[in-house]
Chains A and B, each alone.
Chain A
């Protein structure tokens, strides 16, 4: 009677061992399956994400150029991004945010000049006149003496070029806001944009009104305590520290106002219309 019991026990032990083995094997198989599954999901997502990134880049690279309006020359999605970024950043703008000013000693002697679009050689600053288009039927014509009769504001600040250079410069002129107040241009200044152009209409900029009315925006007629040299925009130029240099139009011939964005030379060549600082 003992033998069978032993046998049974032996069998039972064998069975248990076999069961263990099976359990172990199936656990291992399960683990193996899990590993495979997770790897598949991870690599799958990795490849899908890589493909999406590559596809996105390709889409951008092949996207068409924007339809020419007041802006041109940029790929349509990039222009959209520039404009959206401006809409976001506009909320940060305040006339109370001032550009840093410097003492006179920090102004270097050699005033930098750059780009002469709209500035033909045959020009006589003495006969210069400026037109302020108040409405389609009303234009104000001003001489440099008219401008110089207005309160003078000096500004020593860091002029910043979109190409990357910057220079501390010393300008003087009338604040655009003072100019608006003196000539009773409040109605015009209530519009959204102001445009400046050279006499030959080769160079022109459009500026949002809050930036133009910023307390440090000048119609400048002096640099380094003297008249402005021809190549720097004599006799009157725009100095607008809340914009890159490309907006600081030289040799102003006309000023106009509109609720639509006014033409802008560099915005037609792919640059941000606003280029605000």
Chain B
């Protein structure tokens, strides 16, 4: 796999035969990014600081506030996550009981933090492969570090798209709670929820 910043060779090819082109010509034209490597790198090296600071602040907040308890996957999460996925795909009627976040969310939201650390780590390996030659070594070398860094970035794009789609699907009330941090549930719904839970417990 070749990953270039400048030349358009983001593709997976075997024996000269291109299997997959990450960014076809149209992508470059649409975003107007041909011959703008220096600008792109400068943006990258500015925004990496925001990425870094934002990530550190978020992790500190979840630790200090105790919110991490809602976010870190539990033993059962890995099993339950499948049920959540099946439910979201409308294959399964009921979803497993959840607290603030469901099992799939716990795994996704924790993975994204692990991915963030991965991006910083592989990023340092690429950015200063001589000064941080030990990080580069731990990443499996310069080349593999680049592939990992790039794959993680694709991961964020994928996460972003799925996340936005899910938020839209979940509707306005959910979005409101995303912003405010609380959700208003009237007594009727609360009773229904309680009954449902009770029914399930039996």
Query: Which residues in A have some Cβ–Cβ distance to B below 8 Å?
Result: 35, 38-39, 42-43, 46, 73-75, 77-79, 81-82, 85, 89, 92-94, 97-100, 158, 160-166, 241-242, 266, 269-272, 276-277
Contacts and interface: CB of A to CB of B under 8 A. Distances in A.
B39 A276 contact: no
A166 B46 CA distance: 24
B3 A164 contact: yes
B189 interface: no
B45 A160 contact: no
A99 B132 CA distance: 9
Nearest to A89: B128
Interface in B98-143: 127-133, 136-137, 142-143
B179 interface: yes
A40 to B, nearest CB: 9
B131 A100 contact: no
A43 B46 CA distance: 28
B36 to A, nearest CB: 9
Contact of A165 (B4, B43, B176): B4
A164 B7 CA distance: 8
Contacts, number: 100
Contacts of B131: 89, 92-94, 97, 242, 276-277
Interface of B: 2-7, 37-39, 41-43, 45-46, 49, 127-133, 136-137, 142-143, 146, 176, 179-182, 184
A245 B133 CA distance: 18
- List the 8 shortest-distance A-B pairs measured between CB atoms, nearest first: A163-B6, A270-B38, A164-B4, A78-B42, A81-B46, A42-B180, A164-B5, A271-B38
B33 to A, nearest CB: 14
B78 to A, nearest CB: 33
A38 B39 CA distance: 41
A92 B128 contact: yes
B126 to A, nearest CB: 9
Given A43-B180, A100-B133, A162-B5, A75 B42 contact: yes
A129 B91 CA distance: 77
Contacts of B3: 164
Nearest to A216: B130
B46 A99 contact: no
Nearest to B3: A164
A277 B129 CA distance: 6
18 contacts: A46-B179, A77-B46, A78-B42, A78-B43, A78-B46, A81-B42, A81-B46, A89-B127, A97-B130, A160-B142, A162-B37, A165-B4, A270-B39, A272-B42, A272-B45, A276-B128, A276-B131, A277-B131
Contact of B38 (A43, A73, A97): A73
Given A81-B46, A100-B137, A165-B4, A271 B41 contact: yes
